[in-house]
């Protein structure tokens, strides 16, 4: 067996019931959920890279968000709150490294009102656990922290996102799903309700090959709009403009000054959450992400950003030794507008093509929301249930 085409032809009957484009956290969560929900369905995941989860899903803060920042009633708010609960439960059941370490959102003099607004908005989203913390308690908890006021979010945590994706893929494969790496969707055609012809270019194959699927799910992250543009038979004017917004990270060498996550109040221009301090599962502290609109995907981290990072970090950590900041990595958000633009899920009621689901703008809190998003997409496909 030399390539993906013979593998696909020999292992699974065609047509496929479900073809998922993209094996980031979303594609893998969907493959796991759909293959468990419809055990008889044949599920194929196409991933253009040599491995799964190599793009945005492995270039983020690895924070399990509590759902504090999003407009009440938005998909981001609802799926984050639901996803938070599902994710903690899933991690506990499958031994995925994670810690519910909690986070402090801290205000500097003059910013205190923003914390009140945040708490009110979080309550409207169903997050009741957010509480103001006294200055004394804050200093006891984090002696190196400088702030005039703080909110405590006990339900925010950290996760090993690679272990999570590995487990989701493993479960999907145990359920019979086929994850084909080195396999890029070139184009697809909606031939009629529940009939998609998909052209795939696979490494090692001399020519692209065609497969057929009854459902097609576009969760191609940064390329979701390109994939959408390559689907014939649907109204192309529905494809939203997607802006690439890069976020860089710097790691702090040596011992972390903090034991919890530290976030400044969100950027008032709705651009992001501000350069915050997170911890990875090994306890290393890292700062980021910042905000840089870009026109292409380039993950390099420029040393020259150190001074800007240091200035932002010193607002809440004045003792920072700038020489300990080391360039770490960068991720790119597929943004539909401001940071608070909602996730976009297009189903047949939007584009009129039964069996097609397109996900756009799955930026933060996409990791946290992934299991809840998979539930929702499954619900939207209910009418297409395989026999
Ligand atoms: C800087 C940053 C920080 C973040 N921090 C957090 C956080 O702390 N907590 C949180 O909950 N969320 C966070 N997020 C959001 C989270 O990382 C994303 O929402 C999530 O990873 C999106 O997953 P995805 O599967 O949609 O996209 P991706 O991981 O990008 O996966 C898409 C996949 O599709 C593949 N693909 C594309 N085109 C094709 C094609 N034509 N054929 C086949 N395959 C294709 C790609 O190769 C890729 O593997 C952050 C995001 C960023 C950028």
DSSP for 67-131, written as a single string = S-SSPTTSHHHHHHHHHHHHHHHHHHHHT--EE---EEEEE-TT-HHHHHHHHHHHHHTT----E
* Confidence band of 386 (pLDDT split at 50, 70, 90): confident
Question: Does an H or E element contain 31, and which?
Answer: helix 25-37
Distance 162 CA to ligand 1 centre (A): 12
Could you report the per-residue pLDDT of 102-142, keeping only the tens digit for each? 999 999 999 999 999 999 999 999 999 999 999 999 999 99
Query: Which residues contact residue 237 at a Cβ distance below 8 angstroms, ignoring those fewer than 6 apart?
Result: none
Asked if pLDDT for residue 288 goes beyond 70, the answer is: yes
Q: Which domains does the chain have, with CATH numbers?
A: 4-57+163-241+341-384 (3.50.50.60), 103-154+243-335 (3.30.9.10)
Range name among 2-11, 50-59, 182-191, 227-236 with the lowest pLDDT average: 2-11
The minimum-distance atom of ligand 1 relative to the CA of 365 is 11
Q: What share of the chain is helix, strand, coil (3-state, %, to 5)?
A: 35, 30, 40
Query: Which residues contact residue 276 at a Cβ distance below 8 angstroms, ignoring those fewer than 6 apart?
Result: 61, 261, 262, 263, 264, 287, 288
How far is Cα 77 from Cα 67, in angstroms, rounded to an integer? 6
Q: What percent of the chain has pLDDT over 70?
A: 95
Residue 375: the pLDDT is 98
Distance 268 CA to ligand 1 centre (A): 25
- Whether the CB of 5 sits within 6 Å of ligand 1: no
Residue 1: the pLDDT is 37
Residue 5: the pLDDT is 61
| DSSP designation for 220 | -
Can you name the residues that pair with 315 across neighbouring β-strands? none
Whether the Cβ atoms of residue 244 and residue 293 lie closer than 8 Å to each other: yes
Q: Please indicate whether residue 75 or residue 5 has the higher confidence score (pLDDT).
A: 75
Range name among 6-10, 54-58, 348-352 with the lowest pLDDT average: 6-10
Asked if pLDDT for residue 13 goes beyond 70, the answer is: no
Distance 25 CA to ligand 1 centre (A): 7
Asked if pLDDT for residue 322 goes beyond 70, the answer is: yes
Whether the upstream peptide bond of residue 348 has omega within 30° of 0, thus cis, is: no
Residue 385: the pLDDT is 76
DSSP three-state, residue 159: strand
- Whether the CB of 215 sits within 6 Å of ligand 1: no
Nearest CA residue ID for atom 41, ligand 1: 185
Burial of 250 (0-12, 13-18, 19+ CB in 10 A): buried
Residue 312: the pLDDT is 95
The minimum-distance atom of ligand 1 relative to the CA of 29 is 25
Mean pLDDT of 73-93: 97
* Confidence band of 8 (pLDDT split at 50, 70, 90): low
Pocket test for ligand 1, best of 57, 187, 298 (most atoms within 8 A of CB): 57
The minimum-distance atom of ligand 1 relative to the CA of 363 is 19
How far is Cα 26 from Cα 35, in angstroms, rounded to an integer? 14
Nearest CA residue ID for atom 15, ligand 1: 364
* Confidence band of 36 (pLDDT split at 50, 70, 90): very high
How far is Cα 347 from Cα 75, in angstroms, rounded to an integer? 14
* Confidence band of 234 (pLDDT split at 50, 70, 90): confident
Asked if pLDDT for residue 325 goes beyond 50, the answer is: yes
Residue 291: the pLDDT is 93
Residue 78: the pLDDT is 97
Whether the Cβ atoms of residue 116 and residue 102 lie closer than 8 Å to each other: no
> Residue 97 to residues 90, 103, 259, 280, 282: CA-CA distances in angstroms?
11, 18, 17, 10, 10
User: What average pLDDT does the chain have?
Assistant: 94
What is the torsion angle, in degrees rounded to the nearest 10, for the CA atoms of residue 264, residue 270, residue 272 and residue 277?
Answer: 0
Distance 58 CA to ligand 1 centre (A): 8
Rg (CA), the chain: 22
């Amino acid at each position: 067996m030399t390539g993906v085409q013979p593998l696909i032809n020999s292992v699974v009957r065609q047509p496929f019931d479900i073809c998922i484009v993209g094996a980031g956290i979303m594609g893998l969560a969907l493959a796991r959920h759909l293959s468990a929900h419809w055990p008889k369905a044949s599920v194929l995941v196409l991933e253009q890279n040599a491995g799964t989860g190599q793009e945005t899903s492995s270039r983020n803060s690895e924070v399990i968000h509590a759902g504090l920042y999003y407009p009440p009633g938005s998909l981001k708010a609802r799926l984050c709150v639901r996803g938070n609960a599902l994710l903690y439960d899933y991690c506990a059941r499958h031994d995925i490294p994670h810690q519910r370490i909690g986070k402090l959102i801290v205000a500097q003099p003059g910013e205190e009102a923003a914390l009140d607004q945040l708490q009110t908005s979080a309550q409207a989203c169903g997050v009741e656990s957010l509480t103001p913390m006294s200055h004394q308690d804050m200093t006891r908890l984090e002696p190196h922290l400088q702030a005039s006021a703080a909110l405590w979010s006990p339900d925010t945590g950290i996760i090993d996102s690679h272990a999570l994706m590995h487990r989701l893929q493993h479960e999907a494969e145990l359920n019979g799903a086929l994850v084909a790496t080195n396999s890029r969707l070139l184009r697809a055609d909606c031939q009629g309700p529940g009939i998609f012809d998909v052209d795939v270019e696979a490494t090692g194959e001399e020519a692209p090959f065609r497969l057929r699927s009854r459902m097609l799910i576009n969760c191609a992250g940064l390329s979701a709009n390109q994939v959408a543009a390559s689907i014939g038979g649907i109204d192309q004017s529905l494809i939203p403009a997607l802006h690439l917004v890069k976020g860089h990270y710097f790691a702090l060498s040596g011992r972390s000054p903090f034991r919890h996550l530290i976030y400044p109040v969100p950027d008032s221009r709705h651009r992001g959450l501000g350069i915050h301090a997170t911890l990875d599962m090994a306890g290393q502290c890292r700062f980021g992400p910042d905000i840089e609109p870009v026109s292409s995907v380039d993950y390099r981290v420029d040393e020259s950003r150190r001074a800007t990072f240091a200035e932002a970090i010193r607002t809440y950590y004045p003792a920072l030794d700038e020489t300990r900041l080391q360039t770490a990595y960068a991720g790119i958000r597929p943004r539909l507008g401001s940071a608070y633009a909602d996730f976009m899920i297009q189903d047949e009621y939007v584009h009129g093509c039964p069996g097609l689901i397109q996900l756009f703008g799955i930026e933060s809190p996409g990791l946290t929301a992934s299991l809840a998003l998979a539930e929702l997409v499954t619900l939207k496909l209910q009418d297409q249930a395989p026999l």
